[in-house]
Amino acid sequence: MASIRHAVVSLSLGTWSWSKNPQKFLFPPRTLLMSAMAADRRFSYNGLKNFNGYGTKTPFLIGVAGGTASGKSTVCSRIMEKLGQDEIDHRQRQVVCISQDSFYRELNPAESIKASKGLFNFDHPDAFDNPLILKTLQDILDGRVCKIPVYDFKTNSRKLDEFVTIYPADVLLFEGILVFYFPEIRDVFHMKLFVDTDADTRLSRRVLRDIRERGRDLEQVLAQYTTLVKPAFEEFCLPTKKFADVIIPRGADNTVAIGLIVQHIRELLNYRNGNGLQQQRDRQIALQQQQAHLDENGKRNRHNSDSFFTRPH
């Protein structure tokens, strides 16, 4: 139907679910995608592919949201592995990954005391340095080298004079619980993924992670989850699910969804490298030659068409 030009795609094993909410249509048949692009002023076609503002010279930004311990970073790792980017030197990677966790803002003394007691809400939108996030994403779009802070979860502070350098790449994966919360940041992404994992699984993963990796005790982790994390998820994170282009149930266990996303990224990289563009130009030339032939012989073709059908009277 023409009215269903946009859709939210929920990917699971053998299941595609559709919504009439006017979100972006990610994996439609090629002909439907091209007709939708032709009808939308955001898409241009001049021999180059332009998708949601992405051209062959622009880094493609993918936002990956989801609740705490839903498997966002694991999904990004699987994508990097399947694209063969995990073993490449970070200065030469075509695909890079950044976590929103690196952008927690510095706490004042009172907030630091609360954080040490597990009473500071790190799942609230105000816990992040959002202006720095936006500036970093804009710098990446402009092809600049960026320095990302390194956050220490045991001291709840940034490590002094320690940064991770992000070099220009073709595709960026940016994952975090609230990457779709602020419109200014959300609108920067060309593709938006939401990792949807049930609450029990997320809680068990959170408990294990915070105890093993962040030096927290069980009672503190459970108290923080029930009083801060769970309410913040329901108020701030879960409502952003409606902005996702693709919803990935079961996270990294959903190999079908990850495979489709990897295939889509490969196509983008092919266009960036010129392979897909050459194939597109070859198809254009073939279509132009076919159209010229039809125009030249149109009168004869229309005459001969009568021989294929017998009129009833």
* Cα end-to-end distance, the chain, whole Å: 36
Instruction: Locate the DSSP E strands across 57-182.
Output: 60-66, 95-99, 146-152, 157-166, 171-175
Question: Which residue, among 87, 85, 244, has the nearest Cα to 169 in the 3D structure?
Answer: 85
Give backbone dihedrals phi and psi of 181, rounded to 5 degrees, phi first.
-75, -50
What does the pLDDT average to over 149-161?
93
C-alpha 115/C-alpha 206 separation (Å) is 17
Say what the pLDDT of residue 278 is: 52
Evaluate if residue 34 carries a pLDDT over 50.
no
Which residue has better confidence, 94 or 292?
Answer: 94
Residue 286: the pLDDT is 67
Residue 24 — very low, low, confident or very high, per pLDDT cuts 50/70/90?
A: very low
Whether the per-residue pLDDT at 300 is higher than 80: the answer is no
Separation CA 23–CA 5 (nearest Å)? 9
Q: What is the mean pLDDT of residues 47-61?
A: 60
The answer on pLDDT for 40 being more than 60 is no
- Residue 158 pLDDT: 96
Side-chain half-sphere CA neighbours of 126 within 13 A? 4
Judge whether residue 200 has pLDDT over 90. Answer: yes
pLDDT value for 290: 73
- Say which range, 51-55, 195-199, 284-288, has the weakest mean pLDDT: 51-55
Instruction: Domain 9-291: give its CATH superfamily.
Output: P-loop containing nucleotide triphosphate hydrolases (3.40.50.300)
In this model, does residue 266 exceed pLDDT 50?
Answer: yes
Per the structure block, which two tokens stand in for 28? 């439609």
Please state, rounded to an integer, the average pLDDT across all residues of the chain: 80
Least confident of 14-28, 55-69, 84-98, 295-309: 14-28
Over residues 69-77, the mean pLDDT reads 95
Specify the higher pLDDT residue, 48 or 158.
Answer: 158
What are the boundaries of each domain within the chain? 9-291
Is 157 exposed, middle or buried, given 0-12, 13-18 or 19+ CB atoms closer than 10 A?
Answer: middle
Mean pLDDT of 53-75: 86
The pTM of this model reads 0.72
Grouping H, G, I as helix, E, B as strand and the rest as coil, residue 144 is: coil
Rounded CA-CA distance 162/26 in Å is 38
Give the CA distances from residue 109 to residues 18, 114, 125, 156, in Å, rounded to whole numbers and listed in that order.
48, 9, 19, 11
Contact 52, 25 (CB under 8 A): no
